Amino acid sequence: MKIVQIGTGGWGRNHARILSELGVLAAICDSDPKRSAEFGSKYMVSHYTDVDKMLESEEFDGAFVVTPTVTHAAIATKLLNLRKHVFVEKPLTYDMQEGAELVRLAERQKVLLTCGYIERFNPAVARVKEMVDQNRYGDLLMLEFHRENRMPLHIKDVGIIYDTSVHDIDTANWLFGDVPNMVFARAASKLHGQEDFASIMLGYSDDRVAIISSNWITPTRVRRSEAVFMDAIVRLNFLTQKVTVEDADGQETLGGRGGGEGEDGEPLLLEIRSFLDAIQGRGEHLVRAREAVNVTAIARAALLSSQKGMPIYLDLRV
Ligand SMILES: NC(=O)c1ccc[n+]([C@@H]2O[C@H](COP(=O)([O-])OP(=O)(O)OC[C@H]3O[C@@H](n4cnc5c(N)ncnc54)[C@H](O)[C@@H]3O)[C@@H](O)[C@H]2O)c1
């Protein structure tokens, strides 16, 4: 199997490393000539600065698109038109209609299109998902997410909702197995050109709710979540991958990097492996592109709600 990668910046360097380790990286393309040459020689693969040139010259099965969000739709369209399987980093596209068109194109071409909602592959999230699916602590009622960090200064094309909150929007949809029918948000910009802090409330059927707090202002790196079930509170740390369950019998900690009984793993490796398996017909990839379009629709509604100061009602399909 041969895989090409477009975009080898801050995040893409990780994909290149893993794809090379897995022995499937055939070529890379980055519009920055220095980066293109650096990664081409590091992994001993052909390297390009122009996507069209790479597409003319290389034979391959699938591609990773790890370029800035506003470029995703155009690059993914070229790849899908050539009948390639495509993994696009999150968010799938900036524009929801463009995302929906990519989904239709992938269906017509009968190829896999997916999006990098990596937290589904975080062993801590997988643990909580299992608790939900097995109904271990009764119904899941509420979710709360905190994701905080100093702003990554190279991100210029989107604000925090499209860049960061989308991870938690996807995780909330994934854990509830549903999409929200109402979005209310407050967001503003304190230090940057685009919104750099946001509080988003997502209302789901049966009064279930997710509250998402994201900021690019405070200096510490926080990524955690709390799930309130009928019979337990479950706390999850995305970074340490530790999950703590508090119920009537007391408190128990499961998994976590560097200890515990958890079979932890690097989420990006698990995610990439799952994509490669899926395109070889070995299992289904967890993230369907249609779900990623829903995430974009919800992010857009959150931004709109924060601008208008009112709730936005949605009618999305799961
Ligand atoms: N899943 C995650 O946890 C996660 C984390 C970080 C970033 N991301 C996503 O990954 C994507 C890239 O983010 P980043 O932080 O690596 O950005 P970045 O700016 O560091 O890197 C982007 C790279 O793409 C190259 N590029 C830009 N336009 C190109 C084009 N048309 N053709 C070829 N190369 C092009 C740039 O030269 C740069 O090297 C974004 O969509 C971002 O949202 C996902």
Q: What is the 3-state secondary structure (H, E, C) of the chain?
A: CCEEEECCCCCHHHHHHHHHHCCCEEEEECCCHHHHHHHHHHCCCEEECCHHHHHHHCCCCEEEECCCHHHHHHHHHHHHHCCCEEEECCCCCCCHHHHHHHHHHHHHHCCCEEECCHHHHCHHHHHHHHHHHCCECECEEEEEEEEECCCCCCCCCCCHHHHHHHHHHHHHHHHHCCCCCEEEEEEECCCCCCCCEEEEEEECHHHCEEEEEEECCCCCCEEEEEEEECCEEEEEECCCCEEEEEECCEEEEEECCCCCCCCCCCHHHHHHHHHHHHHCCCCCCCCCHHHHHHHHHHHHHHHHHHHHCCCEECCCCC
* Of 151 and 186, the one with more pLDDT: 186
Domains assigned to the chain: 3-117 (3.40.50.720), 119-264+288-313 (3.30.360.10)
Ligand 1 centre and the CA of 230: distance in Å? 40
Residue 262 predicted with pLDDT over 70: no
pLDDT in tens, 202-215: 999 999 999 999 99
pLDDT: is 292 or 154 the higher one? 292
* 159 has pLDDT over 80: yes
Query: For the segment 286-312, what is each residue's pLDDT rounded down to a tens digit?
Result: 999 999 999 999 999 999 999 999 999
Q: Is the CB of 265 under 6 A from ligand 1?
A: no
Confidence (pTM) = 0.96
Q: Is the CB of 29 under 6 A from ligand 1?
A: yes
Across 67-71, 153-157, 162-166, 301-305, least confident range = 153-157
Ligand 1 site, residue 35, Cβ cutoff 6 A: yes
pLDDT of res. 66: 98
Q: pLDDT value at position 259?
A: 45
Cα-to-centroid distance, 190 and ligand 1 (Å): 24
> Taking 80 as the threshold, does the pLDDT of residue 263 lie above it?
no
* CB of 32 closer than 6 angstroms to any ligand 1 atom: yes
Average pLDDT of span 127-147: 98
Query: Given a cut of 60, is residue 264 above it in pLDDT?
Result: no
